[in-house]
Amino acid sequence: MDAKELERMLASMARAGASSLHLLPGHPPCVRVQRRFVQSEQGIVEPADIEALLGDLLFEDHRERLAKQGQVDILYYARTGQRYRATVLRQEQGLAMLMRPIPEAPPQLRDLQLPQQVGQFVELQHGIVLVAGSFGSGKSATLAALVDAFNQGTSRHVVTVEDPIEYLHPQGRALLHQREVGAHVPDCASGVRQALRMGAEVVFVSEIHEAATLLAVLDAAESGCMVFAGFDASSVVSACTEIEKLAPQDQREHVRARFATAMRAVTAQTLLPCAHQQGRVPMVEVLTDNSAAREALQDGRADDLPAIMHRCRGLGMQTVDAALRGLLARHLVTPEEALQHAVNRDQILVRQTVGAPSRGR
């Protein structure tokens, strides 16, 4: 497999309107169209095919991170000018690769159908906002849209530390520096510390995935900086539970207390298929800081957060079920889809029954 063959597959992917191309050893190439995987008629991908393809794509620092972390993200520029985010990861049969197209222009908050309170994060002055989601949940787009909101709507000093840089932001009202791990900074933690020395007021970190970055983010927030960071977790509870586990065992209680004090919001999002059209819409949990949330985090009672979010919905907090009811009310998802993700299925069913139009005889 060579670059010419890859270009042909990417062209076919674009014609099909697919959101991703998957190259997995032992399987034919396949693309994802909506929620379905469609296999190519091309032959089986061999481990040597991917190794050959990556020969010209991975630099030495990429290979080092791949060896250390088991995964690395790179940018691929197709001959058409389209940019792709390529994720290379190790798995049982050898190296696999996933490629997703990146839109030319950065996303904007109004186009992502996010809860209104997410847009209000731009008004925060210091602390941490954690944007959580699993792989493919759209959290990178949310972070990019928040960068765009700062860039176009404020005159603050903004520094991004990205791995890799996906969206290129034109210069707006803000003083914006985009820095890439490997190309401009050795790692995320160094990038955050350098941003502070540059006088950054707002720092974006594409993802916190190890202790050094977490500690650098906490230091930045405590110094008066506003930090937005991605985190790989499927819910608010798991994000708040797992983030402290990045720290060594003997430091976790202290890290938990620091995070509880610095936290301004935690969101967790999942993309669901739209009910009546192609595309996906985010289901977003939102936790904001108040005394009850801080105490629960500090005491290690993350399981209490959903109840706090339910009680404090007037403060902009939102549970999974509240997010689903909002999507149902706007007819953005089907009841069947909502029930698959609901925490309290009976409550969703009751709301659907109450809200359903009556039928005459």
| Lowest-pLDDT choice from 228-232, 329-333, 343-347 | 343-347
Residue 17's pLDDT is 83
| pLDDT band at 354; cut points 50, 70, 90 | very low
Residue 43's pLDDT is 83
In sequence order, the β-bridge partners of residue 88 are 72, 97
Residue 239: enclosing H or E segment and its boundaries?
helix 236-242
- pTM of the model as a whole: 0.84
- pLDDT reading at 361 higher than 50: no
φ and ψ at residue 32, rounded to 5 degrees: -105, 120
- pLDDT reading at 134 higher than 60: yes
Residue 263's pLDDT is 98
Residue with tokens 């190439």: 29
109-318: CATH number: 3.40.50.300
Amino acid present at 224 = G
Nearest alpha carbon to residue 285 among 146, 147, 149, 142: 142
Any idea which fold 3-102 has? Answer: Beta-Lactamase (3.30.450)
Q: pLDDT digits over 214-230, tens only?
A: 999 999 999 999 999 99
Angle in degrees, 0-180, between the axes of helices 320-329 and 345-355, rounded to the nearest 10: 20
Residue 360's pLDDT is 43
Amino acid present at 255 = V
Structure tokens at 279: 């595309």
- pLDDT reading at 39 higher than 60: yes
- pLDDT reading at 61 higher than 90: no
Q: Give the C-alpha separation, 268 to 282, whole Å.
A: 10
Residue 351's pLDDT is 58
Angle in degrees, 0-180, between the axes of helices 211-222 and 188-197, rounded to the nearest 10: 20
φ and ψ at residue 204, rounded to 5 degrees: -110, 130
Residue 266: enclosing H or E segment and its boundaries?
strand 263-273
| pLDDT band at 331; cut points 50, 70, 90 | very high
Look at the alpha carbons of 265, 270, 274, 280 in this order and tell me if their dihedral is positive or negative.
positive
Structural domain boundaries in the chain: 3-102, 109-318
- pLDDT reading at 64 higher than 70: yes
Mean pLDDT of 268-283: 91
